[in-house]
Amino acid sequence: MHRVTIDLPMLAPGLVPRLSVLHFGQAGSGPKIYVQGGLHADEAPGTLAAHRLAERLAALPEGAITGEVIIVPVANPIGLSQRVLGLHLGRYALDDGRNFNRGYPDVSGAVIAALEGKLSLYEDANTRLLRAALRAAIAARSPVEPVQALKRALLGLAVDADWVLDLHCDAEALPHLYTQPGFVDDFEPFTRLMGARAILTAEASGDHPFDEAISAVWEKVRAAFPLHPFACGGIAATVELRGQQDTEPAFSDRDAEAILGFLTHLGVLKGEAPALPEAQCEATTLAGCSLIDAPATGALQWHVPLGTDVSEEQVIGEIIDAAAGTCTPVRSECAGLFFARSQSRQVLAGQKLGKIAGREPLRAGQLLGP
């Protein structure tokens, strides 16, 4: 393993955020895998799983890795530094309020322009050109603003990878995963190993999160050159490792083990691939994922635990305005698995309270929460 550090633009004189990038294996010797944790800096489970994964990879004998694995366990040092009156705020940049996992640049125009007239009928040669054009398109960007520079640095490490796992968590949740519909079968060994309880798919969820910025550019290049073959690449997912409080060693060990097992299935690690547990869910459309709105303001009591298969219009909780003496039921918008919920228990009308993975589309446009 070797470690490379990337200094980002300073947040203040004397205060320079730094990315630590761990490289395992040999570039060009096989598939490139990119794993990052903590892009939302208040989501420790992803960082912990990435750290445990790095420990396990570092302990492997020489030559055990075919290909290259890059791990950035702390993907957002800027977000980690954001503390206000004792509270850590890691989801949005305090400077401009933007979500750290939204608004990644689309470099497909530059990549397509760079490949015009250079492609052949040879998949390997085309894929090499594509990877080089992807790296060049990101390298050509030079934002001076720290958050934009962070996004560029992370994208530059991942954009030419075959596989990308962006490790997150929800507030309180069961393990689940977001990806493209076309990648569900590719990720099946991993979703079974990680015990995913929901797999939410969308061609485009609406605001260009990290994983989609990578998969979309590969897809747009393929669509622009339909007569020229390319290898599969940019197969990316946002992996949600339960909830923010779920930092027990057993969880991070299990998550690292699931990624190691997946790498063995991909042939990146030598050895016998682990048997796959039964799938715990089928993929459902992200457009069918109900974001539960608080119907009133007050103290929230959930009536059902996470993991409940709820029916449409089922009362799943209650909001109590004790001052007025009123109780307002919280009903499910659709049938499906209640798999994630907010940590708030004093809630405001209209606030998002949780998520139910339904089967039928309910929404269009911006499909992710804020």
Distance of alpha carbon 359 from alpha carbon 312, whole angstroms: 12
- C-alpha distances in Å from residue 249, one per residue of 52, 143, 245, 306: 9, 38, 12, 21
CB-nearer residue toward Zn ion: 168 or 355: 168
CB-nearer residue toward Zn ion: 51 or 168: 168
Contact 235, 158 (CB under 8 A): no
User: x/- site string to Zn ion, residues 24 to 63, per CB under 5 A?
Assistant: ----------------x--x--------------------
Instruction: Write down the least CB distance from residue 76 to Zn ion, Å.
Output: 10
CB-nearer residue toward Zn ion: 126 or 215: 215
| Piece of 167-175, 245-253, 301-309, 314-322 that binds Zn ion (CB under 5 A) | 167-175
CB-nearer residue toward Zn ion: 233 or 243: 243
- C-alpha distances in Å from residue 214, one per residue of 18, 63, 136, 137, 165: 22, 29, 14, 12, 11
Cβ partners under 8 Å of residue 362, min gap 6: 287, 288, 289, 290, 333, 334
Instruction: Write down the least CB distance from residue 185 to Zn ion, Å.
Output: 25
Instruction: Write down the least CB distance from residue 145 to Zn ion, Å.
Output: 21
Residue ranges of the alpha helices (H) in the chain? 44-58, 77-80, 108-115, 123-139, 146-158, 188-194, 210-224, 249-265
Long-range contacts of 116-119 (CB under 8 A, 24+ apart): 119/225, 119/228
Burial class (CB in 10 A: 0-12, 13-18, 19+), 75: buried
CB-nearer residue toward Zn ion: 168 or 228: 168
| Piece of 110-118, 153-161, 163-171, 316-324 that binds Zn ion (CB under 5 A) | 163-171
CB-nearer residue toward Zn ion: 168 or 197: 168
Instruction: Write down the least CB distance from residue 178 to Zn ion, Å.
Output: 10
Distance of alpha carbon 351 from alpha carbon 292, whole angstroms: 8
Residue with the two structure tokens 């907010």: 342
| Piece of 77-85, 126-134, 161-169, 224-232 that binds Zn ion (CB under 5 A) | 161-169
Instruction: Write down the least CB distance from residue 171 to Zn ion, Å.
Output: 10
| Piece of 166-174, 180-188, 262-270, 274-282 that binds Zn ion (CB under 5 A) | 166-174
| Piece of 142-150, 162-170, 251-259, 288-296 that binds Zn ion (CB under 5 A) | 162-170
Instruction: Write down the least CB distance from residue 281 to Zn ion, Å.
Output: 20
Distance of alpha carbon 279 from alpha carbon 78, whole angstroms: 37
168 binds Zn ion (CB under 5 A): yes
Q: How many residues bind Zn ion (CB under 5 A)?
A: 3
CB-nearer residue toward Zn ion: 130 or 177: 177
- 283-285 sheet: strands from edge to edge: 2-7, 18-25, 68-72, 32-37, 163-170, 235-243, 176-179, 198-201, 283-285
Instruction: Write down the least CB distance from residue 210 to Zn ion, Å.
Output: 10
**Other C-beta atoms lying within 10 Å of the C-beta of residue 220:** 16
Tokens of 211: 């994983």
Strands 176-179, 2-7: pairing is unpaired
Instruction: Write down the least CB distance from residue 43 to Zn ion, Å.
Output: 5
Binding to Zn ion (CB under 5 A) within 255-284 occurs at: none
CB-nearer residue toward Zn ion: 109 or 370: 370
Instruction: Write down the least CB distance from residue 167 to Zn ion, Å.
Output: 9
Tokens of 52: 């445990």
CB-nearer residue toward Zn ion: 259 or 330: 259
Distance of alpha carbon 46 from alpha carbon 238, whole angstroms: 11
Which residues in this chain contact Zn ion in the complex, by CB under 5 A?
A: 40, 43, 168
